[in-house]
Structure 1
């Protein structure tokens, strides 16, 4: 009977005895041991996970504090930028007033329309003007995707001044000079990517940005309609196009007025672009085209 043991249970009906084998006793003891071990392991795991949760919560609080600090710095930086932008606008207005005082910007006068009518040119003078002053489009097909003036930048999302126009063009579209001139710069430059700057007569300059290839070199003479490069996707840009600028004495002008400028209605630009001293310019053209008078012996 060594391999058996007896369990006695007492109740109201008396005592009852159950005889079990020793192996069953071992199984019961093993089960109890397993339960105790499971409880110990579960308690340890719960404690470890609770500790991890506490550490993660602390890290989360630290990250939230850092985010709040960064947000405050960002707000302060934005306020500083807005203040500087406001100061820059005020300075631009002051510069504009100074330009008006020294005659770079013609003053508004009642007889302006009358003076425009008097600015009549011969066919030779018109031909010379349209050869040497930017006109027409640098592309064969012209579709404007972003206009001249203040806008929200398509890449950084900030509001800034767009000194030219963006023209729709696939990579590799031929780009042509819009007037005779000298290549002032041909190469890569910041947000413009690969660019060409052409210096024209009478204080005008054109800029061609985001090119994929450049076909001219600094110092080259180019004629109106000459190939200077191919449009591309270089610089700070959200898609392939041509950035085109027209400047007069370093001041950006609206290129649309020059793109739409036609010989048959050449006087229209005199009304649209008041920043150019057309009267003085036409006087210069007239003097340049006067036939040379031989000196008397």
Structure 2
């Protein structure tokens, strides 16, 4: 048996040691198997660690995507609100400008809206004057409407015509009052079917 094996002799100050080649091979194989076993164990733990890290990264990525979507929606809503406020601001400026024009005030663009509104504060006399120019109520006691404004069949000509006014029911001699202050443009008898009438501007 021994002559079929290689013997390695190591001699030092402590003496000689003999190693058979088959023993060395066994140790090498044992070391290799142990290394592979430890490598597999380490690889398993490392793969598990990487998988956990990858899962965390994936979760954080989803959270960032959701947050980004929320920010996009919030930004879009904010932009919409800004546009709506800008439209409201422009509408307010237009109304203020129309009031300033009605009162004969010059529009001062360097003033804030608050200052311009302060300039629009009216005295009682101004309020009465403005409200008096707005038609309000009926010119006679309301007894009903006999002809509405718009297209209708003419009561005498029996054809479709546009009626530019409103006919009110009233007895002969009923007093008529102007529903607002104005300037008399015409007063007298008209041959166009209105009879005696007064036109106010």
TM-score (norm 1): 0.30
Larger fraction in strand: 1
* Structure number with larger C-alpha Rg: 2
Q: Which has the higher contact order (CA 8 A, sep 6+)?
A: 1
Larger fraction in helix: 2
TM-score (norm 2): 0.43
